[in-house]
Amino acid sequence: MIEQHIATYREEANELLTELETSLLELEDSPDDADLIGRVFRAMHTIKGSGAMFGFDEIASFTHEVETVFDLVRNGKLAVTKQLLNLTLRARDHIKSMLDADLTSDSVDRANGEAIIAGLRQILPDATPAEVLQQKKEKHSEVEHATDQQTWRIRFRPHPEILLGGTSPVALINELRDLGECHVVAHFEDVPRLEDLVPEHCYIYWDIILTTKCGIDGIKDVFIFVEDDCDLKIDLVDDGTQFEGDEIYKKLGDILVERGDLSPVEMRRILGLQKRFGEMAVAAGALTPEKVQSALVEQQHVKNVRQERISQDAASSIRVPAEKLDLLINLVGEMVTVQAHLSQTAAQYANSDFISIAEEVERLTSELRDTALNIRMLPIGTTFTKFKRLVRDLSQELGKEIEMETEGADTELDKTVIEKLNDPLVHLIRNSIDHGIEMPETRLAAGKPAQGIVHLGAVHSGDSVLITIRDDGAGLDRDAIRAKAIERGLITASAELTDKEIYAMIFAPGFSTAAKVTSVSGRGVGMDVVKKAIEALRGTIDIASVRGVGSTITLKIPLTLAIIECLLVRIGPSFFVLPLSCVEECVELARTDIENSHGRNLANVRGAIVPYIPLREQFLIAGDRPEIEQIVITGINGSKVGFVVDSVVGEHQTVIKSLGRMYRDVKGISGATILGDGTVALILDMALLLQAAEASEQASA
């Protein structure tokens, strides 16, 4: 059981570290933002508290040092500076390394941790360690006069399972005692009979009356890392101002009703044994019956609303292991295949009842498929956040001034796709920073702002997502790329290429125009890796650039890798599928069209010449070609290319199955799917087919 909680802590701590990094980077732009400072402090406070709870004492001790510094920032006693942010980001990375490592091994760089702490202590204001600790305990109150004592009513009701996580409610209550004068009352009415008692469960809850200068923030900090494991209610019962009148405090009945321990109806029933409060108020002419009823309705309404809000918050999300989601998607994929078989069988029997059932199963399967795929969808903003740190650190290393802008962070993609996009995006952003953005003095001389911009955006486009990496740097040097390509023998000196074709040369293995090798670039690796990774995702890359203005790289990525919409085609006895996102149209190819092209694989489509690849010849499929074939015209890397097939069957929903080891290296095939009648259809990779056809043509030339 404890291993499960440790795994949960690691997962939640990683999420907090991501949030911490995001908040620190935002704080660099808004150093006086109290909300951001509070988010940084709370993230570290939670990591520290939970770390100590689950035995990560080294993490708790280290994080405590950083938390102490940011508590001074939160209280306005220390300013947010670049030095502080640099040290805190280093501290975040060190916590991550400790979290990922075995703390008993030598893999943790403890010298680095000590250096960070030493750096943080150097920027503290002149104060002894004891004074700093005292400053940590003294928090600003929310009242106008910070010196006034406030009295709070706290009802702390832990969930029964809180002890299983290692939390000690008594330790939390003792922490409250340190904040001021405190009275604690325990409630035992929920403790079951001995035969029903679970020793690991907590059945007690507490009422605490606390008088303190710390304010509600100081109280909430005590419960900050158990707020999801308890029901907590904090009410201000005395704000420290001078009271007027004869009544020192509320009547007993009012207090009980306010706490929720006694209902208004029950209070009226008890008062009715003498004379009801409402009746007395109405008889005295102080209130109308409607006003009494209105007050009671208000109490009940607020209580209901708050209870509903708590219930909704508790049920708003659930943590599910990724393996279970993958299994669900696989099962849904199998169900889609079975449903296609059912629909095909129903059509063969031509039974209206059977067909009706098949159509209903098809509808339900479609809804289940969409719901299951949406569960795996995540906002791409989680990945975007990582790159802000990359831009910040790399620009400092290169001596450049660069700001990163993001757009469309809420655009959702399949979790698997997001994970596989990380490395290609890192290479592209590093390339923009190193090759694209100029040095500040160069930019100023060219009439540009000293600070360059790297823009990262995402937007939905049909069943795909367009991701753009744009910079306002020097742009691609067309002549330099062409000269390098000629030098390496990629093209001939007399070759006539468009700008897009020349820009595509940067994706060739080992291609680099850098004058010297640095820690960032110059070895000719990276961009070819990007191309392979994007093609593995069935995506495409498009480059646009204006010399002196900047460059834009656009990635077109499918939303999911599990189930895709495709076009089913037939060649002889074999079936193939083409991803529908790449298909533009289908046109006929007659024998006369082939004869008129004089042996060249070119088709005239409404006045435009489109090259095509006869797939029957490409895959060496025996048999006679039909009198009229079909050309499936696709868009690949900004160009139109046709693929000739015997016939087009129609649109089809494809569940992608990976190929066995024997077929993994077959060019032009990216996977397979099972049709409704059990027939296997191969999924074509049009980009690789085009490359194979071009390579074959060059070899035979």
Neighbours of 66 (CB within 10 A): 25
Q: How far apart are CA 429 and CA 470, in angstroms?
A: 9
What is the largest distance, in Å, between two alpha-carbon atoms of the chain? 111
The 8-class DSSP code of residue 410 comes to T
- CA distances (Å), 83 to each of 80, 90, 401, in order? 8, 11, 17
Residue keyed to tokens 């939670």:
46
| 285: alpha, beta or left? (left if phi > 0; alpha if psi -120 to 50) | left
Neighbours of 167 (CB within 10 A): 21
pLDDT of residue 141: 36
pLDDT of residue 452: 93
Q: How far apart are CA 328 and CA 370, in angstroms?
A: 12
Residues forming beta bridges with residue 546, ordered by sequence position: 550
Task: Report all structural domains of the chain as residue ranges with CATH numbers, in order of start.
Answer: 2-137 (1.20.120.160), 150-314 (3.30.70.260), 322-376 (1.10.287), 381-558 (3.30.565.10), 563-700 (2.30.30.40)
pLDDT of residue 164: 83
Helices (runs of H) and strands (runs of E) counted in the chain: 23, 21
- List the Cα angle 350/351/356 in 5-degree steps: 110
In this predicted model, what pLDDT tens digit does every residue of 408-446 receive, in sequence order? 888 888 888 888 888 889 889 988 898 889 999 999 999
E strands, 147-240, in order: 150-158, 180-187, 205-212, 230-238
pLDDT of residue 442: 92
Name residues whose C-beta falls within 8 Å of residue 184's C-beta, 6 or more positions apart in sequence: 173, 177, 206, 207, 208
Q: Is 289 within 8 Å of 282 (Cβ atoms)? A: yes
Low-confidence ranges of the chain (pLDDT < 70): 1-2, 4-5, 53, 102-107, 126-148, 240-253, 256, 267-268, 270-282, 287-317, 462-463, 512-526, 561-562, 637-638, 660, 664-665, 698-701
E strands, 315-451, in order: 377-379, 402-407, 412-414
Query: Of 505, 499, 398, which is closest to residue 454 (Cα–Cα)?
Result: 398
Name residues whose C-beta falls within 8 Å of residue 462's C-beta, 6 or more positions apart in sequence: 581
For CA atoms 514, 515, 519, 524, the dihedral sign is positive
Kindly state the tokens that stand for 596: 């008129």
Phi first, then psi, for residue 667 (nearest 5°) are -70, 135
Q: Is 346 within 8 Å of 354 (Cβ atoms)? A: yes
Please report how many Cα atoms fall inside a 13 Å half-sphere around the Cα of residue 504, on the Cβ side. Answer: 14
Q: Looking at beta carbons, which pairs linking 115-124 to residues 24 or more positions away fall under 8 Å? A: 116/87, 116/90, 116/91, 117/62, 117/65, 119/83, 119/87, 120/65, 120/66, 120/69, 120/84, 120/87, 120/91, 121/65, 123/69, 123/78, 123/81, 123/83, 123/84, 123/87, 124/69, 124/72, 124/78
pLDDT of residue 576: 92
| DSSP helix/strand/coil, 247 | coil
Q: Is 239 exposed, middle or buried, given 0-12, 13-18 or 19+ CB atoms closer than 10 A?
A: middle
Q: How far apart are CA 380 and CA 413, in angstroms?
A: 6
Between 2-29 and 82-100, two packed helices, what is the crossing angle to 10 degrees?
160
Name residues whose C-beta falls within 8 Å of residue 675's C-beta, 6 or more positions apart in sequence: 340, 568, 575, 652, 681
pTM beyond 0.85: the answer is no
